[in-house]
Amino acid sequence: MFEKAKRFAKKIATSKKAQMTCLMMVCGVTAMMAQTTAGDYSAGTAALTQVSEEIAKYVPIVVKLCYAIAGVVAVVGAISVYIAMSASVMVA
């Protein structure tokens, strides 16, 4: 009896069709278990909602920071243009 089972297992192990069937069964069961254990998605939805609210709080601060940086760049650019123009007036 043991030899018969051993031959059967060896036959299955060498058959490509049987190997693929076993692989598909294992993958199918794993995927099905993963979907059923996920349950509801309320924890993930709540986390994403909280993150989006926290990010939305920082948007006005970042906008004001960008305005401040743009203002500094504009002032430095205006000063550099003024210096360049006054230097060219003095030379001429």
Domain of residue 75: give its range. 52-92
Cβ neighbors of 18 (< 8 A, separation 6 or more) are 11, 12
Q: What is the C-alpha end-to-end distance of the chain, expressed in Å?
A: 112
Q: Count how many Cα atoms sit within 13 Å of the Cα of residue 17 in the half-sphere of its side chain.
A: 1
Calculate mean pLDDT across residues 78-92.
Answer: 82
Tell me how many domains the chain contains: 2
Asked if residue 44 belongs to a domain, the reply is no
Asked if residue 47 belongs to a domain, the reply is no
Tens digit of each residue's pLDDT (9 = 90 or more) over 10-61? 777 777 887 888 778 777 777 666 555 555 667 778 888 999 999 999 999 9
Cβ(18)–Cβ(12) below 8 Å: yes
Q: Is a pLDDT exceeding 70 seen at residue 77?
A: yes
Cβ neighbors of 22 (< 8 A, separation 6 or more) are 12
